[in-house]
Chains A and B, each alone.
Chain A
Amino acid sequence: MHLPAIGILSLVLATAVSGTAAFAGSPGGLAWKIEPKVLERSLFSKPYQTSVITGTCPANAEVVIKVVSPTRSFKLNRAGKGLGFVWVPSGHAEVEEIPAMYAILSSAKMTNVLSPAEQEKAGLCSDFRDVFRQARVRFKKDPPDGQGAKLRQEYLSGLVRRFKEGGLYQYAEGAVKIESCTFRAQLAYPASAPVGEYKIFCYLVEGGAAHLVFEDRLLVKSSPVIDWLSYYAHASPAVYGIFSALVAVMVGLFVGVVLGRGAGH
């Protein structure tokens, strides 16, 4: 399907299921709002875009928000020593079905309000083990007997570390602010976060248990120019390549004519 069409369809879906609402049966009849609901990545986007999640919560309750992006596949190298002194790629694997962005924000220190078992049950562990369970790792070469699980863990841990370094995986205790039964959290989406529909989960923590009180969607999409470039770079690479070369020649000749001399090479 054409990319803009997917974007529009996603936007319609996101609009249909979202908005300010109250969940029947949720503790305290919680209301919430996500602003903006759509993040558009343009040519001049900052390294991070932000959305703010606000809502109401009962007194003495803590709030945890989890944001999960669409899943992607990642080809990875594992460095090992080659020739005795140079670090070379010594193993390769592809990690599939892993969210490219994953964030857990809470109003309190998690270990103070949730037991490890409750954290694991709700998928709120600080080491993102929920992700580790769902992701698939395909090795380029079968690992030695008995090494598969260890290598799987090593690839996933390394990838998650990369994500954390890039701001894609976030675990921030105290990032949700509560004041007068109103919570507020600001989440930063790095420019490298994938486009698509993000799931936002909100939990209320009371009595040592986490209750899912709402689930909403946020759409990250690209501007038409970026969509157009990305689409043609992948769907019509020959046209894109010729277009790129022609643009370069025209710009070069223009500068050559205007400045009357070459710009070097």
Chain B
Amino acid sequence: MNIYLPIAHVSINLFLVVGLGGLVGFLSGLFGVGGGFLLTPLLIFAGIPPTVAAASDSNQIVAAASSGAYTHSRMGNVDFKMGLVMLLGGIAGGSLGVQIIKALSALGEVDFVIKLVYVVILGVIGSFMFIESLNALRRKSNVREYTTALEPEESGFKKLATKLPWQMTFEKSHMTTSVIFPFLLGAFVGVLAAVMGVGGGFIMVPSMIYILGMPTIVAIGTDLFQIVLTSINVTIQQAIRNHTVDLVLVVVLFFGSSIGAQVGARVGKRLRGEQLRILLAIIVLAVMVKMLFDLLVTPGNPISFATGGGH
């Protein structure tokens, strides 16, 4: 059975799209991290134009993060004050990112830049995770859970943040810090959200824990809360500026990812933290290598569509 995507102008196997959503949801549930950074490249591999893949992924993240944020808010894990500061940064960064996409589209460079940013970000994150997990496996320090391993420590950034102006107390996170850091962090992730079509949790959560010093569980809940609002902004901006949000694709993907996440979470309970992380690192690096390969290998046809099809 096929489904026609009215904005991508592609008819694609329905089960393939559900499967991709399910796979990413499964990985999301398995590893406890976002799947957005994997979904966009997978959609591109499946034949969805990159600009549509990135914009629709942002919209899919709205659905997925809403689901998670609702659960975390009920458990009291969301620091709304911190989330709002990050949201302001996220809106500024997201709007900037959409303008960057628009400018790059006009220059005909957008698909190349999306791929390049992916190669760099996935390469850095994947390598870091791989080395860290390998070291953890070697040390056989498998007693601590992943979440407890990420508990905050006094970082140089955290010390610096206490000396910057505009200090604010965040009761839920048990901390006082300058609003500059969370604002800039939100802005950086907002730009990535627009360019890569990701929620940014894989950058935001470690940054909140290691740089800001927030408790892990509050960082995850707050991250989801601000991702909902940032991704809504990116979705609306992408729809207005680039006309690339494919709602049909979003609904089908979310159907798959919501099921996959449940299965992944159950399977994940049976695996050790460092095993999970090294598996995820390998997947991230494999996607990166494929995208890098595409950039390095001589194209069979030097002429390509600048905006994914043009009609």
Contact of B34 among A46, A161, A257, A264 (CB under 8 A): A264
Contact of B3 among A43, A72, A73, A245 (CB under 8 A): A43
Binds A, one of B141-149, B270-278, B295-303: B295-303
- Closest-CB distance, A77 to chain B (whole angstroms): 5
A30 to B24, CA, bound (A): 57
- Closest-CB distance, A240 to chain B (whole angstroms): 5
- Contacts across chains A and B counted by CB atoms under 8 Å: 244
Q: Are A252 and B254 in contact (CB under 8 A)?
A: yes
Which 7 pairs, one residue from A and one from B, show the smallest C-beta to C-beta distance?
A: A158-B303, A262-B68, A241-B239, A252-B66, A264-B28, A191-B11, A241-B236
Q: Are A92 and B305 in contact (CB under 8 A)?
A: no
Contact of B71 among A74, A77, A261 (CB under 8 A): A261
A87 on the interface (CB 8 Å rule)? Answer: yes
Contact of A74 among B240, B299, B310 (CB under 8 A): B310
Q: Are B59 and A158 in contact (CB under 8 A)?
A: no
B134 on the interface (CB 8 Å rule)? Answer: no
Binds A, one of B120-128, B161-169, B256-264: B256-264
B236: A residues at CB distance < 8 A: 238, 241-242, 244-245
User: Interface size for chain A: under 10, 10 to 19, 20 to 34, or 35 or more residues?
Assistant: 35 or more
Binary A-proximity of B265-304 (CB < 8 A = 1, otherwise 0)? 1000000000000000000000000000001111101111
B28: A residues at CB distance < 8 A: 263-265
A263: B residues at CB distance < 8 A: 25, 28-29, 63-64, 67-68, 254, 257-258, 261-262
A146: B residues at CB distance < 8 A: none
Closest-by-CB residue of B relative to A194 is B311
Closest-by-CB residue of A relative to B198 is A265
Binary A-proximity of B111-122 (CB < 8 A = 1, otherwise 0)? 110000000000
- Closest-CB distance, A142 to chain B (whole angstroms): 16
B203: A residues at CB distance < 8 A: none
Q: Are A192 and B245 in contact (CB under 8 A)?
A: no
Interface residues of B in 30-56 (CB under 8 A from A): 32-36
B81 on the interface (CB 8 Å rule)? Answer: no
A243: B residues at CB distance < 8 A: 247
A230: B residues at CB distance < 8 A: 6-7
B67: A residues at CB distance < 8 A: 252-253, 255-256, 259, 261-263
- Closest-CB distance, B250 to chain A (whole angstroms): 6
A194 to B309, CA, bound (A): 11
Contact of A43 among B4, B305, B307 (CB under 8 A): B4
Contact of B64 among A77, A80, A87, A252 (CB under 8 A): A252
Q: Are A41 and B64 in contact (CB under 8 A)?
A: no
- Closest-CB distance, B227 to chain A (whole angstroms): 6
Closest-by-CB residue of B relative to A228 is B6
Given known contacts A44-B4, A46-B2, A262-B224, is B70 in contact with A77 (CB within 8 Å)? Answer: no
A-B contact pairs, 9 of them (CB 8 A): A157-B303, A226-B4, A233-B245, A241-B245, A244-B245, A248-B66, A249-B63, A252-B66, A265-B68
A45, A73, A262, A263 pick with most chain B CB within 10 angstroms: A263
B108: A residues at CB distance < 8 A: 75-77, 89, 92, 140
A261 to B240, CA, bound (A): 32
Extra inter-chain contacts (9) besides given A233-B239, A263-B262, CB under 8 Å? A78-B302, A154-B303, A158-B303, A162-B301, A230-B7, A238-B240, A244-B247, A256-B69, A263-B29
Q: Are A89 and B109 in contact (CB under 8 A)?
A: yes
Contact of A47 among B2, B34, B224, B258 (CB under 8 A): B2
A34 to B68, CA, bound (A): 53
- Closest-CB distance, A155 to chain B (whole angstroms): 6
A229 on the interface (CB 8 Å rule)? Answer: yes
Q: Are A256 and B70 in contact (CB under 8 A)?
A: yes
B215 on the interface (CB 8 Å rule)? Answer: no
